[in-house]
């Protein structure tokens, strides 16, 4: 251990002049040391779970939105790279580029995020650290990012805070590429969080027994990608992306690249006894590419979405119905 500390401080000195100290990467020896320690903690956590899985079913809102945030983070980093408007310098941008490549390499990997239930929350306490962390990972992209579900669900507004989730993903992936400094990774995460907030809209109304919310996370400058789009009422959430995509029709011989949803607002709710009809109008801009000429055209339309809340017979509360109508005109 003493040898390691000596190595550690030597390499800090060596690196301080070449690059920002905070962005310093662990060397191979240091990584091996910390990863061994982290692997042991992970094994211990699994052992405590016994034959049952330590990981929850991943079906809750926070879990779904974290998965989305993970994929979306690459888009938002791209936006910073292209427009250089995220208030960070060239070195930070190149670190972000590396984080982006790591994120992309983990697209489709089901092990990349693991959601840890409340009974194992002590896993997120660090020695010499008073606060419980919201997430943890090792110093290699092959480790999962473990998310502390108890903290994630403590604050209702976190559920749709894609900016906060993206900042957490950036921070943790930053550790995976070998950066140890939490403060520096928070700084990078906050830059992306500001960028996300600029692209995100939440449209919410309080109605009957709860809060009805539509969350939209557009892709900004990236015309090739589709927005995050969810409706939720109390504890039920339904993704809307596929429903909208199905209704968008590009001209013959061309295919849909991406779209944005803007300027949303609700019409006055229509409440009749056991049923509430909610209508949400917005502008829709979509991009179609001609398969032969590869030219891209954009189209602007109005969109109307209809949602229903029904009073359930069992507990007298209103619940969001799965039947949703999307009309583009």
Q: Which residues bind Zn ion (CB under 5 A)?
A: 182
| Cβ closest to Zn ion, residue 69 vs residue 231 | 69
Instruction: Centre a 10 Å sphere on the Cβ of residue 156 and count the other Cβ atoms it contains.
Output: 10
Q: Dihedral angle at the C-alpha atoms of 169, 174, 176, 177, nearest 10 degrees?
A: 140
Q: Who's near 170: CB < 8 A, 6+ residues apart?
A: 73, 77, 96, 99, 185, 188, 189, 192
Give dist(CA 55, CA 253) in Å, integer.
45
For the CB of residue 126, give the shortest distance to Zn ion in the complex, in Å: 9
Nearest to 88 by CA among 76, 72, 105: 76
| Cβ closest to Zn ion, residue 34 vs residue 287 | 34
For the CB of residue 54, give the shortest distance to Zn ion in the complex, in Å: 21
| Cβ closest to Zn ion, residue 182 vs residue 223 | 182
For the CB of residue 153, give the shortest distance to Zn ion in the complex, in Å: 21
For the CB of residue 181, give the shortest distance to Zn ion in the complex, in Å: 8
Give dist(CA 270, CA 277) in Å, integer.
5
| Cβ closest to Zn ion, residue 147 vs residue 217 | 147
Position of minimal CB gap to Zn ion:
182
Q: Residue 113: in which H helix or E strand, if any?
A: strand 113-116
| Cβ closest to Zn ion, residue 31 vs residue 182 | 182
For the CB of residue 299, give the shortest distance to Zn ion in the complex, in Å: 43
Give dist(CA 196, CA 75) in Å, integer.
10
């Amino acid at each position: 251990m003493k040898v390691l500390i000596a190595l550690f401080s030597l390499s800090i000195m060596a690196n301080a002049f070449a690059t920002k100290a905070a962005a310093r990467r662990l060397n191979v020896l240091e990584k091996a040391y910390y990863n061994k320690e982290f692997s042991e903690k992970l094994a211990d956590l699994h052992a405590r779970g016994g034959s049952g899985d330590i990981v929850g079913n991943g079906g809750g809102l926070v879990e779904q939105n974290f998965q989305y945030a993970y994929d979306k983070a690459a888009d938002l980093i791209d936006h910073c790279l292209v427009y250089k408007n995220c208030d960070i310098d060239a070195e930070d941008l190149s670190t972000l580029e590396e984080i982006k490549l790591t994120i992309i390499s983990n697209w489709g990997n089901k092990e990349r995020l693991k959601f840890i239930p409340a009974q194992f929350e002590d896993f997120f306490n660090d020695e010499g650290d008073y606060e419980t962390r919201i997430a943890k990972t090792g110093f290699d992209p092959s480790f999962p990012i473990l998310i502390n579900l108890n903290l994630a669900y403590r604050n209702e507004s976190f559920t749709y805070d894609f900016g906060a989730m993206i900042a957490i993903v950036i921070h943790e992936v930053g550790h995976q590429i070998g950066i140890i400094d939490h403060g520096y990774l928070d700084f990078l995460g906050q830059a992306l969080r500001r960028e996300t907030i600029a692209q995100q809209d939440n449209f919410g109304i309080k109605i009957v027994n709860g809060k009805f919310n539509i969350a939209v996370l557009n892709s900004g400058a990236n015309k090739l990608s589709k927005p995050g789009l969810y409706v939720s009422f109390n504890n039920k959430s339904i993704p809307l992306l596929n429903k909208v995509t199905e209704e968008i029709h590009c001209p013959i011989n061309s295919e849909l690249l991406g779209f944005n949803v803007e300027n949303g607002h609700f019409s006055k709710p229509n409440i009749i006894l056991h049923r509430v009809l909610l209508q949400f109008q917005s502008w829709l801009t979509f991009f179609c590419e001609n398969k032969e000429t590869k030219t891209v055209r954009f189209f602007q339309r109005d969109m109307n979405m209809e949602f229903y809340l029904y009073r359930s017979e069992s507990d007298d509360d209103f619940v969001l119905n799965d039947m949703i109508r999307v009309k583009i005109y």
